[in-house]
Amino acid sequence: MRRRPSVLCRSAVIGMALAAVTAGLALPVSPAAAASSRPSQGAAAARLSPFDPAAMRELLAGLPDPVVSGALVRVAQGGSGRPWAGYAGEVPRGAHFRIGSVTKAFTSTVVLQLVAERRIALDAPVRRYLPELIPDAYQEVTVRQLLDHTSGLPAPAGIPGPADGPGWWLKSVSPREVVRAAFANAEGGGTAPRPGSVQQYNGVNTFVVGLLVEKVTGHTFAEELGRRVIRPLGLRDTSLPAASDTSIAVPHARPRLGGDEVTEQSPWAWAEGGMISTAADLDRFLTALFRGRLLPPAEQRLAFTVPDVASAPDNKNCINGTACFSIGGLMRVTLDNGVTVWGKTGSQPGWTTGMFATRDLTRRVVYSLNPTGAASERPYVMAVLNAAFGDAAGDRG
């Protein structure tokens, strides 16, 4: 039996404590993560160890294995120099991949642009814009609370999953069907938390946000995304496929899940998690977002604002009872070595993706793994982050 690289073994204990969510992957947040909505700008870089390519090569050398069939990792430092890139398994250079909930960062950026244009009021009730969709019971929920996951909206329902039988990853549902199923499923199910009182990561929030963009602009969400983000940044390999388009541009990996190839799948997750991209494009988007190229100063600050509220007891994305998701669709993570990074994770069948950076862009990482479903890929994700941002305390034993 081939032994897994030591950098991964040392991360396994930490990684197994993580928890998955719909179209996303949870990451641990150390007790050092502050509850304040004002992120630190420079402390992370001061504690950052030099990037060691050998550690990342060691990690990738153990792949493919029964849990992860392929991987790509891109690490960039500062504003100059050639990024480091590594591949494992049958993942081609420049591969396209499904980014899952990383899409949320794009969606939130579009909404914050509309806020800056005064076409959406951040603290207005969502029912002002979508009265036909939001029930009376949720009339107090605001746009801000959708973006920072403090809305108290019900969990997703009626979304494709293994219970749908063979080929379930090809099943398509519309955004409105997802939202209406969530509300219908919640009827008589108990009292929802008061809006704004607690953070509970929930994809239904982002489906509603996408529909809000369409209602306000009169255009499809894909059109607004292309006009506002994709084309201005020259993201030539990034797209939001149409509902009927199950394909993915070449080159790409051919992931398998439980023995079935899942390369072609429905992009039903739409504004919540349906986009396709590449490592280079995600790095370009992350850099532009952090440098303020996409948002005016006031909205730029909002993009990194985490609500000063508790995390729900069953909110598996943020630990220690502290909220960690920002209005801008980003997640604040403080690693065990004290380095704070911002970014987003995402998952779709056969793909687990993430993009993270220090707030000052001293270092950035984009990764895409191809999990097989045989066991959790979470330890691999943590190993990638630890190798990218320096040797965490838990890895030094």
pLDDT at 393: 35
pLDDT band at 104 (very low <50, low <70, confident <90, very high): very high
- 6 within a domain of the structure (yes/no): no
Return the percentage of the chain with pLDDT > 90, whole number. Answer: 78
The β-bridge partners of 334 are 340
Tokens standing for residue 170: 């090809």
Sign of CA dihedral 305, 311, 312, 314: positive
- 179 within a domain of the structure (yes/no): yes
- The amino acid at residue 30 is S
Residue 1 predicted with pLDDT over 60: no
Q: Strand, helix or coil at 21?
A: strand
Tell me the residue length of the chain: 397
- 7 within a domain of the structure (yes/no): no
- 8 within a domain of the structure (yes/no): no
pLDDT band at 164 (very low <50, low <70, confident <90, very high): very high
Nearest to 91 by CA among 119, 115, 72: 72
Alpha helices in the chain (DSSP H): 6-9, 12-15, 43-46, 53-61, 103-116, 143-147, 175-186, 203-217, 221-225, 270-273, 279-290, 297-303, 378-389
- The amino acid at residue 262 is V
The β-bridge partners of 318 are none
Cα–Cα dist 267/249, whole Å:
13
CA of residue 234 relative to chain centroid, distance:
21
Cα–Cα dist 242/278, whole Å:
18
pLDDT band at 24 (very low <50, low <70, confident <90, very high): low
Mean predicted lDDT score pLDDT of the chain? 88
- 51 within a domain of the structure (yes/no): yes
Q: Which residues contact 169 (CB under 8 A, 6 or more apart)?
A: 160, 257, 262, 265, 266, 349
- 115 within a domain of the structure (yes/no): yes
Cα–Cα dist 372/69, whole Å:
7
Buried b / exposed e along 364-394 (16+ C-beta atoms within 10 A): bbbbbbbbbbeebbbbbbbbbbbbbbbbbeb
Give burial (CB, 10 Å; 0-12/13-18/19+) of 191.
Answer: exposed
**CATH number for position 135:** 3.40.710.10
- 11 within a domain of the structure (yes/no): no
Segment 198-252, tens digit of pLDDT: 999 999 999 999 999 999 999 999 999 999 999 999 999 999 999 999 999 999 9
Q: Strand, helix or coil at 272?
A: helix
Segment 113-130, tens digit of pLDDT: 999 999 999 999 999 999
pLDDT at 252: 98
- 344 within a domain of the structure (yes/no): yes
Tokens standing for residue 168: 């379930």
Bridging pattern class, strands 84-89 and 97-98:
unpaired
Domains: count for the chain:
1
The β-bridge partners of 363 are 77
Q: Which domain holds residue 59?
A: 17-395
